[in-house]
Structure 1
Amino acid sequence: MIKGVMFDFSGTLFRIESAAQWLRAVVADAGLAVPEGELSACVGRLEEFGAQPGGVPPRRVPAHLEGLWRERDLTAERHRAAFTAMTREAGRPAADLADALYERSQVSEAWQPYPDAEATLRALRGRGIPVAVVSNIGWDMRPVFRDHGVHDLVDAYFLSYECGVKKPDAGIFQMACDKLELAPGDVLMVGDEPIADSGAAALGCRVHLLDPLPVDQRPGALAEVLQLL
């Protein structure tokens, strides 16, 4: 019987804006006039290098960045360094926007909850089922939850850069289970990364994977979690 639920953040409860929206917002804030063709080409390069936190994974990682990329979620400093480095590898439309792009990825307006996220979290709260968020990340996304009105529906957060361990290491899932005061076999892990999130299975947790589709293409997948309880 499921008595507690762990959720991933990006691609599970929330989804970041598209790479095109991300770049355009930063270019506009910088007051730059960039030709449409150059903007489109830059979006393609940013996606190729996986330069957007929470966006698509890189199709290739330069050899000199492989170590930093592997460890990016263990500290805030490595996270910033890894993503800004990948942005610079991708090139830029008119100026060095790497830091501005990185900072844009942390503002609440850049993230949208999935349509059924709040209702699902409220339903779990109504059933007395505690919730933890377990995320590989290098920054504090609690303000995103607050600004979208769902922070009070989460009992605990376990962020890799704060915990010093990242998924799929079973240690971070054990921390969450301990905080929820539940045996792993009584906890469901809901995420979108087959390797990272399935690490919970090593403890005996049940794992349910979702497709990290854009928000408007995945209206009801989280609500289906309630049927697993």
Structure 2
Amino acid sequence: MTTIEGVLFDFSGTLLRIESAESWLRAALSASGTDMDEAEIARRAAELERAGALPGGSSPVEIPAGLAGLWEIRDRDARHHRAVYTGLARQVPLPRPELYDALYDRHMTADAWHPYPDAAGVLAELHRRGTRIGVLSNIGWDLRPVLRAHGLDRYVDCCVLSYEQGIQKPDPRLFAVACRELGLDPSAVLMVGDDRTADGGATALGCAFMWVDHLPVDRRPDGLRPVLDLVG
């Protein structure tokens, strides 16, 4: 069996989790100085969640026909990403039109993301062992400032982001880029992620794969710990 010398981590649902839809909406309302009563906030937040408008949150219950094509390629380009998520949000009536962009802008802030309880500890231990560490994400914006704000960037050797490459998981070419960035053969790399299809696509290239459950941070205190048993 090949020794694992590098680990690629997915971002959303693996290392960090996005805030709740209600917290997200409240933050955007506050930033724009918009008042909304409590019952309305809860109702609109639930509608936004069903619409799949929060990146990193639930997938849409139903994708509008006009956005279906864009949805499939949303992580290949920053403009596509913003367009599809603001488009999904616009299915939900909100009191001010600028709120749709405010919501999108909010989800890119460090305050909108919460690291899983064991993320820093696992990354620190891998780093101590000399393991190469990368973040490989299907995403439409630069997550590096979020990692930096939460003190995780110090352990990460590379970030490979779909929108910067114009390729999205499970395309083997994206995993190949990440392995090259780590300076390792795919057989020596473990991919860790919460999506068996997207992240599990690493196995086509010869990487190992470990699945983690995309749970709220308070319900997954040690989901990343098994990585330490898999890495030499």
Which TM-score bucket, shorter chain as reference? over 0.9
Deviations 1:27-75 (A, max 9, x none): 1222222122211111111111110011111111001110111111111
The aligned residue for residue 157 of structure 2 is 155
The SS at the match of 2:47 is helix
The aligned residue for residue 112 of structure 2 is 110
Q: Identity of aligned pairs, percent?
A: 50
Cα drift, residue 191 of structure 1: 0.2
The aligned residue for residue 52 of structure 2 is 50
Paired residues, number: 228
Q: Could you tell me whether the CA contact under 8 Å between 1:73 and 1:138 is conserved in 2?
A: yes
The aligned residue for residue 64 of structure 1 is 66
1:70-149 equivalences in 2 (<5 Å): 70-92=72-94, 94-96=95-97, 97-149=99-151
The aligned residue for residue 16 of structure 2 is 14
State how far apart, in whole Å, the 2-side matches of 1:102 and 1:130 are.
Answer: 32
What amino acid is the match of 2:10? Answer: D
What is the TM-score when the length of structure 1 is the normalising length? Answer: 0.97
The SS at the match of 2:90 is helix
The SS at the match of 2:136 is strand
State how far apart, in whole Å, the 1-side matches of 2:110 and 2:78 are.
Answer: 18
State how far apart, in whole Å, the 1-side matches of 2:200 and 2:92 are.
Answer: 31
Deviations 1:148-182 (A, max 9, x none): 11111100010000011000000000111112121
Cα drift, residue 184 of structure 1: 0.8
Cα drift, residue 91 of structure 1: 2.5
State how far apart, in whole Å, the 1-side matches of 2:127 and 2:31 are.
Answer: 39
Give ranges in structure 2 of 5+ residues lacking alignment. none
Deviations 1:103-141 (A, max 9, x none): 000010111111110110110011100011100000001
The SS at the match of 1:139 is coil
Q: Could you tell me whether the CA contact under 8 Å between 1:50 and 1:56 is conserved in 2?
A: yes
State how far apart, in whole Å, the 1-side matches of 2:13 and 2:150 are.
Answer: 16
Q: Could you tell me whether the CA contact under 8 Å between 1:15 and 1:214 is conserved in 2?
A: yes
The aligned residue for residue 175 of structure 2 is 173
State how far apart, in whole Å, the 2-side matches of 1:10 and 1:182 are.
Answer: 24
What amino acid is the match of 1:78? Answer: H
State how far apart, in whole Å, the 2-side matches of 1:197 and 1:170 are.
Answer: 10
Cα drift, residue 220 of structure 1: 0.5
1:177-216 equivalences in 2 (<5 Å): 177-216=179-218
State how far apart, in whole Å, the 2-side matches of 1:180 and 1:37 are.
Answer: 49
What amino acid is the match of 2:212? Answer: L
